[in-house]
Each structure stands twice: as C-alpha cells, then as structure tokens.
C-alpha cells in the first residue's frame, strides 16, 4: 500500500496532497487543492491520482491504428527477428471534456462514469513486463501492483464528448466541481467554440501512454488536446500489438507491405508483445559512467519519430472530419486484448471536426522522450515535421542525443531538469548546449531546475509511490507540487511563444494563468548549487540529504526548510539559461569562465559524448 496513506507527513518529507487547502500557485509553496473525487479516491489503502486543476473535465480515447508505412528499423535482431518494427500506432488522447462529462452516456449499455485504469490492460501482462524491465520476480511484482495500483483509475472519463464551451476567466482549482460545470463567455471577436492547441507527448524508458497521465491530463484540463504515444521501440515495459485475422493490421499484410517478421510462437494468438529491449553489451547504459548503445538508441529514436508522424496523420484526419474512418481502422475494439470494455462506444466524431490546431503542434517529452523531442525539432526543416512550432523537454537524458552540425533547433524551447539530473555533469552540459542552440538561433529558450526533485518527478510514479520517492530517492519536494510547477512553467512558456494566430483572440488556458510574478522571469543563476549533490555512485539516481534522520524525526522540519528559503528570497526553481542571456552575453561568459566546474560546485565536462558534442558545435559555429 502507498505509505502516503498511513505514514505521517514528517516521514514522507512533504504533506499529503489530500490535505492541501485552496491556494494560488505559483506563489504558494503548497500544491493546488485537489479534493478527492469519489469513494474510490478516499479509500486509504491503495494508490490514487489527484484530480486535475484546470477548468475542464478530462476525457480519454484509446486508439490503435495500422501504420500507413510499416517497416523495420536497423539490423538489430533478437533470436534472428528484427525487434524494432513499425506495425501499428498506439496512443491515448487526453482532451477537454464537455460539461457534466461524468454523467453523460459513456457507453451504449448504460449511463455511468467510466474511468480508465492507470495500469495498462491487460494488467497481468503489463505487470510482468515491469518485472522484466526492473529485473524482479514476476509474482512479486504482480503482488506489488495488486496491493498498490492495480485498481487505480485516472481522474478522466472514457469517450466523453469534447468540450464546446469556454471556461470562465481566472477560475482554476478553486471549487473545482462548480468550475467545471460553469461556462464562460466566448471572446468578443472569436468563435463560439474554442479551438484547442495540439500537444504530442513522448514517454521515457519504462514509460507507457498512461505513466504521465498527471501531466497530460493537466494540459487537457487547461484546454489542450494531448496525444500520448506508447512507443513500440522496446523502451516501454511491455506493449501489445493487436493483429486481426485479415485486413490492414493483419500479420500477413504487415509482412507483405513492410518486410516485417513475426515469431513463430506468437502465431497462435492474435497479438504480439513488445518487451523492453536491453542493450546487448551493457544493460546499464542509462546510468552515468556507462557507454550508451548508440546503435540501439539511434534506431529507437528513428522509430519514435516515425510513430509520431503517423499519429499526426491520424489526428489530421480526425480534425478534417474523418474520425469515423479512423475508428473503422481501430484495432482496440471491445473484446480485443488491451482494449477497455467501452471500446469507442459513445463517440460522435462530428464534434471533433476542426476542433484543434494541426498547424501549431507542441512537442513534449520526458527523459528519452525529451531526446526524441530534440531530434524532432532539429528535423523540423523536413516536410514531415513542419507543423511543430515549439518544444518542451522534461529532464532530458542527453547521452543518446545525436550531435548534428547540419541541423539546429530553430523553434522556442523550454527545458526543465530535476535536481538529481542537474548534478549529472555530462548530462547537464548537453541540456545546456541544446538550450544555447535555440538561443543562438534567435529563439526564446529557457533551462531550469525544479528543486528537490528526482528523475521520475514528472511522471505519475512519484505521486503513486511517494514513500519510494522520499525514503529511497530522497526527493524533498512535494510530488504533486512538482507537477504543478512543471505545468505552470509550461503554460507560461506556451503563452509567450505560441504563434499569434493561435493565441488571438483567445485561448482557454490563457484565462486561468496566474497573474503576478512569473517563474520564467527569475534571474539567471550562474553558479550551480550543490546542497543535495549525491556521491558518485548515486549520481542522477537520488539526492543527498544531510542529517536526514533528524529532519525526518523532527515534525514540520521540511515545511520550515521551504519557509526559510522563501524568506531568503529563494524560489523553488533555479533558472540556468534564458532569453535575457542573449542580450547580456552572460551565457557564454559563464560557460567560458567555468565557475560551475570548480570542485564541489556542480557539473564538470568530462565525457566523450560531451567532447564530441562541443567539437561538432564548434565546427557548426565556424
């Protein structure tokens, strides 16, 4: 059971999000208020996800559609079968839902609220996949999930009708039930129905299309259509590929059209399983001090880019009024493995016609998904990614980033690190160089760190398992507050950089932005802190807390810590690079004088990957 249900606040190191009062973020140091939604969310003995804070309810749709161009990537094989292949595209769409979405007809059978489970179906196969990914016994892992998150559901509704109303001005998490059931006036010179911006989200290693539901759902609750892909590149714990007996998604058609092989032992069942693919020579290539399997990671990036483009074509068809045709090709039918009992029942695709922007896409990714985002932004000049106009990278795993002197980021960029990854010198230098690349192109770009966070702070895992985040990974920030900060920074960024024809005359998320001091306007911190820098063996894995036992035993110690920082004028966010550095020249000055490279003061450049990056960047500058 999650220890957040039974352990006191001072043991966790942060308050429980169920106890937080209504507050105005980002000034407040508490998470935004999220009252429990139902009896299920009030039961104290299993994991639960907090409701979203935006003015909209959230709906979800699961789609698995055969790829238009099935093919294999690279010559990497396991048991003489190519493991990286594009056959179908699987994604979950998070979107703003209509008023009273929870009581509308969600299925053809009955009027009921239908919420998807957080653990992807079939849950037994998914939990076994996590066991293989974590190299743990399968039965023990299944028991762990059964006792913690087996029955956890997303605070969103399956197949709800997309919202056609505007939210009120300045109303966000305050009295949420009333807020989501109240309409705002449309803009004087705008349309009666809002047209939402489109976001694509790419998960990291070990992620799924629901592992970042808190971030994706928060975006949707503020007025975005978010496409969360489940990559079939061997980076997730386990993903299911459905195959009908005949038609575009069948094995015979995939093999004929894409030169794809299938394992003989899988032919007796109507699906294939894609498990996590470990590097052949060093399965710990993700940790500092280990050499990255560049062949595998590069091929995975190429497959991910192909999946993103295929997903964009699907969304383009839906926006153009061809949603019924997309639904006809959907392989996640009721009764298919991995499909929910709702299927696509209750969806009227006519409501989706011209309801989101296809010419202004925001690409967002976490960890390896952030690496994918960087590669996509660099290839924006190519025809298939012309629609991406800005990017957000959460805690990028920079080691697989491919240095490319011929292509540079030419769009606005926001990078948000965890404090644990900030101390990883080689990785931080890659993140800094990527941000500088966008700044050198004359684009607004920021690189920040959220204090007290670890690498999984931007996913659901820290919320569902706060005891692991606090006791094992030494996370000091409130997990829900970390999500709030990431969202506030992201919305502030998008309000500044999105094309004017998207923002004007109005966008729903602009109506709920907090006024006053903005975290993106904080002064740049030129010397990297080292207050929680871990020993080398724990680098990038966890933080180091001095006098940890005393701080956990003494009640309210963590609260006093954050209050002390606030009184000293220190914020929850460190800004490392920003647009103002272009005019002052401080970015290059700080990089050249190397203050942060002094002993005990933060990252230093030492890896071959970093040297290769710098040499290629220098050549491109010349």
Digit-coded pLDDT (tens) for 133-145: 999 999 999 999 9
Chain position carrying tokens 């450049």? 605
Report the share of the chain in percent with pLDDT over 90.
60
Tens of pLDDT, residues 391-417: 999 999 999 998 877 888 999 999 999
Kindly indicate the confidence band of residue 518, based on its pLDDT and cuts at 50, 70 and 90.
confident
Kindly indicate the confidence band of residue 105, based on its pLDDT and cuts at 50, 70 and 90.
very low
Identify the CATH number of the domain defined by range 3-60+87-118+153-232+277-329+342-621. 3.40.50.1820
Tens of pLDDT, residues 62-93: 999 999 999 999 999 888 899 999 999 999 99
Please provide the average confidence, as pLDDT, over all residues in the chain. 84
Query: What is the dihedral sign for C-alpha 525, 531, 537, 541?
Result: negative
What's the confidence (pLDDT) of residue 107? Answer: 43
Dig out the tokens for 483 from the structure.
């999500």
Kindly indicate the confidence band of residue 131, based on its pLDDT and cuts at 50, 70 and 90.
very high
Return the closest-CA partner of residue 449 out of 558, 512, 399, 522. Answer: 522
Return the closest-CA partner of residue 90 out of 186, 189, 202. Answer: 202
Kindly indicate the confidence band of residue 214, based on its pLDDT and cuts at 50, 70 and 90.
very high
Q: pTM for the complete prediction?
A: 0.88
8 Å CB contact between 234 and 300: yes
Length of the chain: 622
Dig out the tokens for 521 from the structure.
């306007």
**Domain chopping of the chain, boundaries:** 3-60+87-118+153-232+277-329+342-621
Kindly indicate the confidence band of residue 103, based on its pLDDT and cuts at 50, 70 and 90.
low
Residue 309's SS3 state is helix
What's the confidence (pLDDT) of residue 404? Answer: 79
Q: 182-191, 241-250, 333-342: which has the highest mean pLDDT?
A: 241-250
551-584 per-residue burial string, b: 16 or more CB within 10 A, e: under 16: bbeeeeebbeebeeeeeeeebbbbbbbbbebbee
């Amino acid at each position: 059971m999650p220890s957040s249900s039974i352990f006191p606040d001072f043991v966790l190191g942060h308050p429980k999000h169920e106890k937080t009062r209504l507050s105005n973020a980002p000034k407040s140091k508490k998470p935004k208020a999220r009252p429990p939604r139902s009896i299920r969310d009030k039961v104290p003995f299993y994991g639960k996800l907090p409701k979203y804070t935006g003015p909209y309810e959230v709906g979800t749709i699961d789609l698995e559609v055969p790829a238009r161009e099935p093919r294999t990537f690279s010559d990497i094989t396991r048991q003489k079968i190519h493991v990286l292949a594009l056959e179908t595209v699987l994604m979950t769409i998070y979107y703003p839902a209509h008023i009273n979405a929870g009581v509308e007809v969600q299925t053809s059978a009955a009027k009921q609220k239908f919420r998807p489970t957080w653990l992807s179906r079939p849950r037994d196969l998914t939990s076994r996949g996590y066991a293989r990914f974590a190299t743990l016994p399968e039965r023990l892992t299944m028991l762990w999930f059964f006792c913690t998150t087996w029955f956890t559901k997303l605070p969103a509704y399956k197949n709800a009708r997309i919202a056609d109303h505007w939210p009120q001005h300045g109303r966000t998490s305050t009295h949420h039930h009333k807020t989501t059931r109240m309409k705002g006036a449309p803009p004087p010179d705008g349309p009666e129905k809002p047209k939402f911006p489109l976001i694509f989200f790419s998960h990291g290693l070990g992620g799924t299309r629901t592992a970042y539901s808190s971030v994706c759902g928060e975006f949707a609750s503020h007025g975005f259509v978010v496409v969360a892909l489940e990559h079939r590149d061997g980076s997730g714990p386990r993903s299911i590929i459905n195959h009908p007996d005949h038609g575009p998604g069948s094995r015979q058609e995939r093999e004929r059209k894409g030169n794809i092989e299938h394992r003989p032992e899988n032919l007796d069942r109507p699906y294939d399983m894609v498990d996590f693919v470990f590097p052949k020579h060093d399965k710990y290539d993700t940790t500092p001090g280990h050499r990255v399997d560049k062949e595998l990671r590069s091929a995975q990036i190429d497959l991910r880019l192909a999946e993103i483009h295929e997903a964009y074509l699907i969304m383009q068809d839906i926006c153009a009024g061809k949603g019924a045709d997309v639904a006809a090709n959907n392989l996640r039918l009721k009764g298919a493995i991995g499909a929910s009992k709702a299927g696509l029942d209750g969806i009227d695709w006519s409501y989706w016609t011209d309801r989101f922007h296809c010419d202004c896409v925001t690409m967002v990714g976490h960890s390896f998904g952030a690496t994918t985002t960087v590669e996509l932004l660099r290839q924006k000049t190519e025809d298939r990614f012309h629609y991406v106009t800005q990017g957000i990278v959460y805690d990028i795993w920079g080691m697989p980033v491919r240095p490319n002197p011929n292509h540079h980021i030419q769009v606005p960029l926001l990078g948000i690190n965890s404090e644990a990854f900030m101390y990883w010198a080689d990785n931080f230098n890659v993140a800094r160089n990527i941000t500088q690349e966008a700044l050198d192109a004359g684009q607004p770009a920021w690189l920040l760190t959220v204090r007290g966070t670890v690498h999984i702070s931007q996913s659901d895992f820290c919320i569902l398992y706060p005891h692991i985040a606090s006791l094992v990974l030494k996370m000091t920030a409130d997990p829900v507050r970390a999500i709030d900060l990431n969202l506030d920074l992201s919305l502030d960024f998008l309000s500044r950089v999105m094309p004017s024809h998207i923002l004007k005359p109005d966008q729903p998320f602009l109506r709920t932005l907090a006024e006053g001091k903005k975290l993106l306007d904080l002064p740049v911190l030129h010397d990297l802190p080292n207050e929680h820098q871990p020993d080398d063996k724990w680098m990038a894995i966890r933080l180091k807390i001095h006098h940890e036992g005393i701080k956990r035993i003494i009640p309210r110690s963590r609260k006093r810590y954050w209050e002390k920082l606030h009184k000293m004028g220190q914020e929850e966010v460190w800004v490392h690079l920003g647009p103002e550095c272009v005019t002052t020249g401080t970015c290059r000055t700080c990089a050249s004088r190397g203050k942060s490279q002094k002993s005990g003061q933060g990252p230093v450049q030492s890896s071959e990957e970093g040297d290769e990056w710098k040499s290629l960047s220098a050549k491109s500058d010349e």
